[in-house]
Structure 1
């Protein structure tokens, strides 16, 4: 693991980077030393590093690019966002709307918990003009335990 603050004196690091025990910063861990030759290589590397650190990463948003557009991918922790609940589709095509189902609806599933806890961890992967893929950590903090701790503890 590369030390992001290798050139900064330790006294300064202790003053500048105090982290709460509830938020662990993984920015250094997910910052590669060089760009990747392909989108797949970048995503595979991120998934591997995530697995080594016991975090599950998912694709939040993706754009393959095209004419006059470069590809990009937004990667986030599987626990990012919030639970959206049940929805019922009304209408067809572009005019379709989604209405929230009530708890009393016969088809409504009982609440079984959610992994979502609003984790702010986010990474952008972008293709540059040189056709290389660059990884930028937007937020390297997780606000929850690792997946291993969560499974071991039986959390929801």
Structure 2
């Protein structure tokens, strides 16, 4: 899917914060919540656990980067088979946030590039990363499933508890398969 390259959305002010986070998860959750409120999906692009260097994490837009064909035989079989048409949500979005660990084990977030080259999503339903269930939601799902509550009612309960929840009924069915 090719986006119009003239579409530039600057979200630097939304992600600029002087807050010091207690840990890496708090930093990532804050960035994802801000992204979700603005119609963006924020994912971890790169992570460095330290090992001689300062711990850091790079967050970016899920649409950053480009599609990579992972088919090993794509070059050798082009003559034999017609190349499969694929669609991708990747459009080379340059958005990047840098999180770094401070000497006192707290974390700080800086905006490296606050620009997106695509419009924000109007509805985040259907985005696999945003639709994931948190640990609390998963435990609630397990408890409700044990009491024989229907998946439709489980989904409505989850959505009542969290206004920003964009899970679908398919997410509920998949989670029930994993947690019998």
Give the TM-score taking structure 2 as reference length: 0.59
Among 6, 10, 15, the alignment partner of 1:25 is 10
Higher strand share: 1
- Alignment correspondent of 1:113: 87
What secondary structure sits across from 1:48 in the alignment?
A: helix
Q: Give, in whole Å, the separation in 2 of the partners of 1:83 and 1:116.
A: 6
> Are 1:141 and 2:147 an aligned pair?
no
- Alignment correspondent of 2:59: 75
Shift of 1:144: 0.4
Q: Give, in whole Å, the separation in 1 of the partners of 2:15 and 2:120.
A: 15
Shift of 1:148: 2.0
- Within-5 A mapping of 1:6-155: 22-66=7-51, 68-88=52-72, 102-104=77-79, 110-148=84-122
The total of aligned residue pairs comes to: 122
Q: 5+ unaligned residues in a row in structure 2: which ranges?
A: 1-5, 126-180
Q: Give, in whole Å, the separation in 1 of the partners of 2:49 and 2:76.
A: 34
CA contact (8 A) 1:59 1:76 kept: yes
CA contact (8 A) 1:85 1:100 kept: no
Q: 1:134 to 1:84 in 2, by over 3 A?
A: same
After superposition, give the CA deviation of every residue in 1:90-110 in whole Å (9 maximum; x if it has no partner).
Answer: xxxxxxxxx75654565x872
Q: Give, in whole Å, the separation in 1 of the partners of 2:21 and 2:87.
A: 38
Q: 5+ unaligned residues in a row in structure 1: which ranges?
A: 1-20, 90-98, 152-156
Q: 1:100 to 1:131 in 2, by over 3 A?
A: farther
Measured on the aligned residues, the alpha-carbon RMSD in Å equals 2.9
Shift of 1:147: 2.0
Shift of 1:130: 2.3
